[in-house]
Structure formats: structure tokens, C-alpha cells
Amino acid sequence: MRRVSRIEDAVDRLLEAAPLAVDLVPVPEAHGRVAAEDVRAPGPVPHFARPAMDGYLCHDADVRDASPGRPAVLPITGAARMGELPGQGPARGEAWVITTGAAMPARGDRVLPLEAVRLTGDQVRVERPPGKTHIAAPGELIREGIPLVMGGSVVSPAAAGALAACGVGTLRVHRRPRVALIATGDELVDATEDAAPLPPGRVFNSNAVTLSGLLRDIGCDVEYHGIVRDAPDGMRSAFASLWERYDVVLSTGGVSIGRHDAVHRTWLDLGAQRIVGRVDLKPGGPFFAGRLGRSWVVGLSGTPAACLAAFHLMARPLLMRLAGRRHAVRPLVDVALAAGFPRATDRTRALWARVGPGGPGGPAGELLVGGSAGDLASLLSANALVLVPAGSPPLPAGSRVTALMLDREEDRDRLTISAPRLAPLVIGIVGESGGGKTTVIVDLVRRLTEDGIRAAAVKHAAHGFTIDTAGSDSARMAGAGAAVVVAGGPAETFLRLAGPADHPERLVALAGAAAEQMWGAPPAVVFIEGFQHPSRPVIQVGPQKPESEAVEVLAALPAVTGGNGETLEAALRLVAEAISLRVRGLPAAHHIHEAQPGRSAAARRSGAAARQPDD
């Protein structure tokens, strides 16, 4: 029995499949099919020179020196029309009527547009000849030898039109995959116009509807064969009646390890060879793919989110290969998580997400599943699957991960999931001015450094600051207009940028980039003194500012005064321990909040707001 655990290995095994047979079809029927050959333009289109405008064909030498004082007057002695043989053309001193698209006669090298001449009887009068000849060379529409269709690409309407324009009458294309779609499960009911209200324990069959659309979108010929109940004999009979008639039999449900999950066992009993079994993936791990005769049999999970994840990650690449597509795997993009993912992963996670352009650091991904709309409804706006490999620690917001883009065409043949690059834990240090925020940061940085954790600090200097002595070399460089000044010394380096940094995200990104350049990794923790922090945890020092809101208050410390040294020392020790545990992905050993009568409503809701989406 063959079992493939890694999702990357599963995709590799499936993509060993061979494309389906080739058909020779008339070009008008090739639209939407996958080309099985490269086709280049056999000749130029059009294959003759032609006028670009309606007008009069003449010789350039007869009109080039014309002027109002010395006009050129040419008798009209013939005509060249579209669709007719071109003829000899005008002699010197003559003009012919010519229409756009007509073949150029043997004589004549300039076309005078209608608006450039005055017609007098059977003569044309030219006073100001136009600068252009208004004659299009052969190949104006299609040049000889350019690629019209490439093997493995879908023939577009424009490509079919270009083939026809070149006189290509037939095209070799791959046969469309014929797919039998079935749903399994005693609980399923197909939604119909007159469907009765469902009793408890029954659900409408949505997977088949979604998969049918996804299959047709990639060019499959799909036939839905209804719901197959979980009874083994009925399932065996249904499966046996289908596999010889289709290239792929695709089912949903019944592929897990439960008592009634009999899809994989039924296919094996019918003689199928297992190609891929259960995959180390959540959601979508319950999976089966095998070969029976010339057919593929594929079983997906019955849970909608898992069914669709496995379809996009494994079934779709297989179908793209069978269809003859040049590539079978969609683009993989490095994205930053807008919010963190708080769980360590014991298997590869496929997280539904919405990826947008993001900020200066590139695309950003918002995790969707687990929202208030419900798991399935949350997928409506998804355009990506964020892939987090097994063995990954909890991911703070800003961590960079691999995303499979669901709204882009395939561009590769391997699924490669990179290890996530963890962003630092960013903590705002907030409170009234003079409360001791800097003292708290200094103490926490010292404690974390002693614990082997690299920390960074960002200061919001609202009233400006002095970083260099007036007249020093670096100050003179900045004063001269240098956009960036870097001063490197034996023990430290500082970076001076011309321009304000009015957003904390930019400062965090700058601190992370500097740390990666210096030490090859971002800091584990970044403390930000000042700014507002509605979406990140904070440490409150002293009284809370009236306008401040935070999603999570890690700790509320008293203002730093001369009389609370021992109390503050104990509190800071607990805070540092909690931060250290959080950075290492371990549960906090202490509840570090003191009594917080002034805590904000947002902070009091932090337990619910901080819960992250799951599947």
C-alpha cells in the first residue's frame, strides 16, 4: 500500500500522469481547447502591400513638390478595389482610385487620402501632399514566423482568429478530460426548487455544485451522477458502472478513517492502484487518488473547506496535466500575514486567505476562515491558500509565508512550500508622557538580551531629536541633501534618513530590514514607544491616554516613580518572562495583568478579538 504524507510529494506523484490523447479539430472549434502543438505564422498577413486609407494612388515623384502656387494635376485613369486583382496601376503623371485594403498595383508608390486632394471632373488637384505614403507593407497584421499558439496553452478567440487569418484550417488539441462527479454520504440532499425543509442530521450537497463549476472553468466535460449512499454494495455498484466511461471519477466524502468511510476501500476492492493516500495536510488530508485501467479515480473530503483545499492543491494540478496544460501548479507568492497565526503546526496547514497588494514590504494576506460569517461563507472572498509547513511555530503578524494564488493561471510544475520567516513580536509601550515608558523598555530589553532574545526599540520622537554633533561629517552629508546616511563605527552603526517616518509599520519594517542585513534575521521583539496601537499588543505604563485603544494589553504597569522600585522590579520580571515564553511559542506561566480599572473596552474584548482563524 502506497501512502504519501507530504503534500509536495503527493503533487509530484500526481503530475507523473500523461496528458490525454490528441484530437484534430477545425480551427473554429478550437477555442477553449488546449493546443497540442506549436503553430507559427506560415506567412505574412496580409501577404500583399495595401493602402491604409481610401484615396488616389500615384507616383511620389509627381506630387512631392506640389504647392498652392504650383499644384500637381493628375488625370484619373483606373481603379483598384478590395477583392480584385490589382492590375498594373497608374503610369507617371496619372492617378488611380484605390480603396483601403485593396492589393497595391505594380505601379504607384503613394496614396493620397481623399481629404488631401480636390477632385475636378476626372482629375485630382494636389497642393500640399501629405508626409506619409499611406501604404501598409505585407505582414502588417501578422508577421511571418511569429508564434500564434503554443502547445499546452488554451486557444483563445484571438488565437483562433489569427490561425484562420493565416489560412490554418485545423489544429491538434488535447481531448477534454471527461469527469464523472459524484457525492457520497447518507446525510446529503441535493438542493432543488421543491426541496423540503431538512430534518436534523441532513445537509444540502454543496460540494458537487462548487466542484462542477470549478471543473468546467478548466475545460472539463463534467457529468454529475448524483448522491451515492454509504452502503458498501451500493457504492461498489455505482463506482463499477462509471470508471470505464470516464477519464476521471471524482467523488466527495467517505475518504477518512471512520467506520462509514468506504470510498478508498471500494476503489481498492475494484482493483485500483493507489497513487496517493492520506496527505499530511489540514484541511484536506483525507484524500485518495488511484488508477483503474486507463482511468483516474479521485476522492476528496466531504467537509467543504477541506474538499476545496484538496481540489486546488492536488486534484486541479492532476486535471491540468491530463488536459495537456503547459504548467499545472498555480503561482506561489511570498506574502506577509496581516494578523498572526497563533498555533504551532504539526502538519502542513492550508489557510484560506485574501491576498492584496499590501504595503512597502509587498503583498499581504488576511486569513479568512474562522470569521463570524462561518467557514464556508468566509471562502467567498478568498483568492489564495496560505501554506504553512509542518513544524512551524506560532506566527506573529507580519511573518512571511507561501501563498498559492487561486486567481492566477498556472506557471510552474512543482509545489514548493518555503519555511515561514517569522516577524518580530511587536509590542507598543503606551502611557502618559513622563510615566517611565523608556525606563520600562530599557529594563525589558536588558532582561530579554540576557535571556538570549534579540530585541529592537523604536522611539516616536514627536518633538524631534539630536543624533549627531553639528559640523560632524555625517551631519554635513545630511545637510547637503543625502537621502540616506549610514555611519559605521567599531561598536555601533546608525542610519539617518531624510524624511519623516509617520507610521509605526514603516519603522518596524526598517528595524527588521536593518537587523536582517546585520545578523541575517529580524529581531525577535520590537518595542515601540509612542504611537497608537489598535491592532497589536501593548504594555500600559501609568495612566492610560484617553484616546488610546488596543486589541490586547499584555500588562499594565504603574508609572515609574522613586517609591515603587520593588513592585516595578517584580512586575517587569513577570512581563519579561511572559514575552520570552511568547516568543518561543510556549504558554505563559503567569497571568501578568494587574488590576486594571481603566482598561479599555477593546482590551477587555481582547480574549475574543485575539482568537485567530482555524479550519
Closest CA to 342 of 563, 129, 551, 560: 551
Mean pLDDT for 102-107 is 96
Q: Say if CB 572 and CB 527 are below 8 A apart.
A: no
The pLDDT-based confidence of 1 (bands split at 50, 70, 90) is: very low
Query: Mean per-residue pLDDT for 239-248?
Result: 95
The Cα–Cα gap between 264 and 251 comes to: 10
Residue 402's beta-bridge partner residues? 334, 387
Alpha carbon distance 497, 474 (integer Å): 11
Distance CA 228, CA 235 (A): 6
Total residue length of the chain: 615
Q: Which helix (H) or strand (E) holds 361?
A: none
> Within 13 Å, how many C-alpha atoms sit on residue 75's CB side?
4
* CATH code for the domain of 380: 2.40.340.10
* Whole-angstrom distance, CA of residue 354 vs CA of residue 374: 15
How far apart, in whole angstroms, are the C-alpha atoms of residue 290 and residue 268? 9
Identify whether 71 is part of a domain.
Answer: yes
User: 188 and 284 share a domain?
Assistant: yes
pLDDT at 155 over 90: yes
Q: Which of 437, 456, 438 is nearest to 524 (CA)?
A: 456
Residue 598 has a pLDDT of: 37
Query: Could you say which of 121, 153, 174 is where a domain stops?
Result: 174
Please tell me the predicted confidence (pLDDT) of residue 463. 59
Mean pLDDT of 376-397: 91
Looking at the structure, tell me whether residues 362 and 441 fall in a common domain.
no
Please report, for the domain that includes residue 547, its CATH number: 3.40.50
Q: Which residue has the cell 505563559?
A: 588
Q: Are residues 235 and 278 in the same domain?
A: yes
33-47, 153-167, 494-508, 525-539, range with the lowest pLDDT: 494-508
pLDDT digits 0-9 by tens, 450-481: 999 888 888 776 655 566 677 777 777 777 77
Is residue 90 domain-shared with residue 229, that is, in the same domain?
no
**In whole angstroms, what is the distance from residue 212 CA to residue 450 CA?**
59
Same-domain pairing of 594 and 559: yes
Residue 487 lies in a domain: no
Task: Say how many domains are in the chain.
Answer: 5
Per the rule left: phi > 0, alpha: psi between -120 and 50, beta: everything else, 398 is: left
Examine the domain organization and report whether 353 and 430 are in the same domain: no
Q: Which among 322, 344, 375 is the end of a domain?
A: 322
pTM of the entire predicted model: 0.79
Residue 258: its pLDDT value, please? Answer: 78
| In a domain? residue 483 | no
**Does the residue 416 lie in any domain?**
no
Residues 65 and 111 in one domain: yes
How confident is residue 589, by pLDDT bands cut at 50, 70 and 90?
Answer: low
Distance in angstroms between the alpha carbons of the first and the last residue of the chain:
29
CA distance 602 to 609: 8
Co-location of 191 and 238 in the same domain: yes
Residue 346 lies in a domain: yes
Domain membership of residue 55 (yes or no) is yes
Contact 338, 584 (CB under 8 A): no
In terms of residue numbers, what domain contains 301? Answer: 7-15+177-322
Q: How many CB atoms lie within 10 A of CB 579?
A: 27
Are the beta carbons of 80 and 103 closer than 8 angstroms?
yes
* Residue 88: half-sphere exposure toward Cβ, Cα within 13 Å: 5
The reply to whether 191 and 305 lie within a common domain is yes
Cell 514590504, residue?
361
Give residue-wise pLDDT tens across range 299-332: 999 999 999 999 999 999 999 999 999 999 999 9
Looking up cell 457529468 gives 223
**Among 56-60, 188-192, 282-286, 384-388, which is the least confidently predicted range?**
188-192
Where does residue 464 fall: left (phi above 0), alpha (psi -120 to 50 degrees), or beta otherwise?
Answer: left
Q: Is residue 543 part of a domain?
A: yes
Helix ranges (H only) for 143-197 are 157-165
Check which CATH number belongs to the domain holding 110 and give it.
2.170.190.11
Instruction: Report yes or no: 72 and 54 within 8 Å, Cβ to Cβ.
Output: no
Residue 415 lies in a domain: no
Determine the 3-state secondary structure of 477 from DSSP.
helix
Same domain, 196 and 246: yes
Which CATH number covers residue 154? Answer: 3.90.105.10
Q: Are residues 252 and 377 in the same domain?
A: no
Mean pLDDT over the full length of the chain = 87
Q: Nearest to residue 108, comparing CAs of 45, 52, 48, 62?
A: 62
- Contact 61/120 with Cβ under 8 angstroms? no
Among all chains, which residue has been given the C-alpha cell 476492492?
269
User: What is the dihedral angle through the alpha carbons of 65, 68, 74, 75, rounded to the nearest 10 degrees?
Assistant: 180
| Final residue of a structural domain among 83, 110, 136 | 136
- CA separation for the pair 318, 43 (Å, rounded): 37
Co-location of 443 and 572 in the same domain: yes
